Amino acid sequence: MEKQMKTDDFIQDWELKIEEKSARHKSGLEIEYVYDNPDGTIYVELKELTEWMKSQLESVRDSKEVRKLANRLVNEFTIIYKEKMTIINK
């Protein structure tokens, strides 16, 4: 069984931009909230994704590993957004 992720486990790796509803991970990937989907999930935009992927691939990572990292970062951002940003931005 996979451990439930908690904001405190990873928030130190993020620079939050609460007014812009976005955050930049220490790896350089910036993620921005766009809107709520009808199913309760959120739609996000990955800023400068091509450049971020290129830098990750240059760090001796294969493309599957990079996609997995991007997915994990989107999941982390979603948790941060729901726990830390929605209260402030309402």
- Give the tens place of pLDDT for each residue, 48-63: 999 999 999 998 778 8
| Predicted pLDDT at 87 | 60
Answer yes or no: is pLDDT of 90 > 50.
Answer: no
Q: Is residue 14 part of a domain?
A: yes
Please state the length of the chain: 90
The tally of domains found in the chain comes to 1
Q: Is residue 90 part of a domain?
A: no
Contact assessment for residue 16 and residue 31, using Cβ atoms and an 8 Å cutoff: no
Q: Is residue 1 part of a domain?
A: no
